[in-house]
Every structure is written in C-alpha cells, then in structure tokens.
Chain A
C-alpha cells in the first residue's frame, strides 16, 4: 500500500494521546490507593490532559488531509453498525471530550464527593471521567486497529497482532511522553511512569517483532491463477490496459526499492524499542531532557513503523497491475 502521511500522523498522534491519558489516570488511580504521592493536580492532570487534547486535535486535523471531501466528514458517523472507520469517527471526538472534561475537573479542583467505595475510597467526577476515558481510549485503539485488521485479504494486517501493536505502541509512546511531562510537572511520579513506559515498550517490542516474523512468512492466498481464473503455472501480464498511471497504480504501491523498505524497518526497530528503553532507564531519576529525547526518538521511530506498516501490506489488486506495454 502507499503510505499516506495523513494517516501516519493520525494514528501515531492519537496513539500517543491515548497512552498519555492512560498514564495520567493510572497515576491518579495509584495515588487514590495511596500507592503514589499525590502530584500537583493543576499542573500534572490539568495540563497533561490539555496536552492529550492537543495531540488528539492534531491527529484529527491530519486525518482531514486524507479526505477528498473534508467538508462532508460529518457524514462518516453514519455507518457505525458495519464500519470500523465510522466507529473511530464517533469514538475519537467522544474521547477528546472526556479527556477535556477530565482535565477541566482537575483544573477547577472540582472534587465533590459522589460516593464512597467500600474501603473508604472517595469517588469524585474525575474518577468517573477517568474510567470513561480509559474505556474510550481502549475502544479507540480497537477501532483504529480494526480498520486495518478487518480487511481479510490484506493478510499482513488481518491478525490480532495488529490490534495488540496499536495498543502497545500507542501506550508506550504515551507513557514515555507522560514520564517526560512528569519530569517537569510532577517529579515524584517520574520513576513510576518511566518504568511503565519501559515495560510497555518491551511488550510492544515482543508483539511487533512477532508480527514482523508472521508477515515475513505469509503465503499470498491470491495468485495470478485465481485473479484471472486460468489454470497454468506460467502466466505473465503483458499489459495492464493503459500506459499512464491510474489510481490503482498510485494507491496500492509504495514505489520504493527494497533497500528503503529494509532501512526503514531497521530504523524503527531500533528507534522505537532499544533506544528509548535505554533513555527511559537512564532518565528514571528525573532527567527531563533525557526523557523528552526518549519520547521524541520513539515518536520518530513510530512514524517509520507506521510507514512500514502500510508499505509492507501487499494488496491482491496489485496482481492486475504489473506491466505496462
């Protein structure tokens, strides 16, 4: 497939935002159980949520560049019964709204006691919004990944690993960002968040390498024989029927030599996993610069990872577009 930068930025930006929100609420949950010190709610939860909303908005803006008719984008909420893309279009703004309200509740110190859980745990609006946001964050990961994973003839994508990778890679970059953000706003949480970022990065490495391993061994189901229905081991296309380009020759081919593909693959394998891991571990004690570098390197790596994710998918329609004559 031809990797579109609009979609690369959309998926990586909202992934980082979802991970960041999950990191914020994880810290709040730990603090509620007195497992972590209470950070400065204004700075950490309030501004952290603002940062997440900004990332989500940037992702949303990027997604509009993918559309031929952005002014009709509102229509995309219509077919949520059948289309994962439609579901994403609904869940993304809902998640944005909840993150915004969550940040607002912290920013305005709006903590009326709604109820008390057994064990004496107080529940305030930010806790309810946090749970709702967590559900929506995972729903959004699911929607985004299923857009690709549900296409059964793109066998590189049609796997549960696609969903797992979107969750773990988004989570890893979000927790890295949260660690770097905490180094400035809540230093007492840095080691906790950096440790989680490292753990999720490690898990992401396992699942992404598992999907690379799987994809390298795929055997295409469709062949020229099934594409034109002729039983013969030797079939070659002499002409695709036209000499110029067409949508089919632009949208489904990445157009890069194998060396570029391989280079991008090794770049992302190093930039998404071991490099940020080292930086996260060395920044554990609160080095804001090191942690910020960890996030930037990992995010750059994720851009390459997403590019490779699209480029590696081999669409069966390409069988029909092999030769110009």
Chain B
C-alpha cells in the first residue's frame, strides 16, 4: 500500500511563504481551482488557501527561538473528516492515501471541517464547497511533465528543501528515511488520526568535548605532579633523557 505524504523540516524552514504562493498559484489554475479571494485589495481581505506558514516563538527573551511552521492537510491515515461526510464527497484514495473532496458532490455543510482537529479544511466562500490540500494530485501523476516536476508545487518551490515528498509506507523512500533518522513526528498524536505528514524537529549539532580531550590526562608532567609547568630555563625532557 502507498501513503503519499509531505515531511516538513522545521530545522530549515525560513518562513519565506514561497510554498504558500506557489500552492495558490498552481491550484487556483489547476483542476481544483479557482481558489477564490474576496476583497483582495480591501480592508478585510479573505481567501482560500491549502497551505499556510505560521510563526511561533519558543522560549522567553533572551532565550527565544523563532519557529516557522507550514501547515496543510496532513492526509491522516485514519482521517476523522472522511466518515462524517454525509454525501461521500470527502474520501481517502485507496491507491495513494490522498484525502480529497469531490467538489461536485460537496453540499457545503462544513461538518468535515468541524471533524478536523488541525483546521486543514477551508470553505470556499464563492463556490461554497470545502477545499483542502490535494497533494497536487493533478501534478504528481501528469506524465507530460518531466519526472522531476511530478511533485507537489510547494515542494518544488521551497528554496531550502524543507519539504520532502514521498511514500511513507516504503521504508526506503526519502520521507521514511527522514522520519526514521531525523526524528520525524506527527501533530496532535493524542487524537489517533495518524497523520501521514510528519515534521522534523529543530536540530542543533553539538560536540561534547571532555576536559581530558583538551589537555592530555597522561601528560607525564602531570603524572608526578610537577605543576605548574617547568620554566623554559629548566632542562627539557630531551635534555635529561636518552629516549
């Protein structure tokens, strides 16, 4: 079985919003589109997005860290939004695990958005149907594109390669390796939704240097406690030994 997913590396995300605009650009002109904006130049603009980048501050000044946090549908392996849909418009594809909405069946009752703890679904105010990330399903299987382009458009846009895409059920895929070896974790594990998308934590590279690595513990000068170091006028070891 296949479960396509994104793995987002919070260690390298710089919060540039390139994935947000790239997602909107592709999907508003793709088969899911348009993703309508209302009042875009007015005082209170609003619109439909599949992907948002949020910013959190962790810690207290001066020991703070800024964490940029991209958020889109996590394509849960046990999606709570699917069984509640009264029409069957919301469904999870068996072949690749992508959670999708059939816009021709959706009645706009918003019940699926209530059933998603992550707030990943947004009602399109103009079309009055529920919209969400499709993992660029109209892109990743498009054989007219070069193999390298058959990835979600947010992944293609990310300048720091913070977004990885692949099958988390294949143990050798780039995403599985990243989750396994770089501490990938799911969001809100307390609800048992088993999100397919994972996040990689902030990581710092530190070397632990022990004091005896800076100064030789077996320094012969220390063995017989002749410290402090003998003055330069004193005879050196070479002067007094024959080796």
Contact = CB atoms under 8 A, between A and B. Distances in A.
Contacts of B108: 67-69
B66 A320 contact: no
Given A78-B87, A151-B114, A315-B114, A240 B44 contact: no
B46 A246 contact: yes
B48 A247 contact: yes
A236 B56 CA distance: 6
A83 B115 CA distance: 11
B117 A317 contact: yes
B3 interface: no
Given A241-B53, A252-B119, A229 B199 contact: yes
A244 to B, nearest CB: 4
A238 B57 contact: yes
B123 A228 contact: no
B58 A75 contact: no
Interface string B113-138: 11111110111010111000000000
A201 B227 CA distance: 91
B118 A320 contact: yes
A95 B52 CA distance: 44
A73 B129 CA distance: 13
A111 interface: no
Contact of A251 (B44, B45, B110, B117): B110
Interface string A237-274: 11111111111100110000000000000000000000
B225 to A, nearest CB: 46
Contacts of A1: 114
A69 B128 contact: yes
Contact of B52 (A75, A154, A228, A241): A241
A206 interface: no
Would you list the 4 A-B pairs with minimal beta carbon distance, nearest first?
A68-B108, A68-B128, A317-B119, A82-B83
13 contacts: A68-B107, A72-B105, A73-B107, A153-B80, A153-B117, A224-B56, A226-B190, A230-B56, A240-B52, A247-B125, A251-B110, A320-B71, A325-B55
Given A78-B86, A325-B55, 4 more contacts: A67-B108, A84-B84, A236-B57, A247-B123
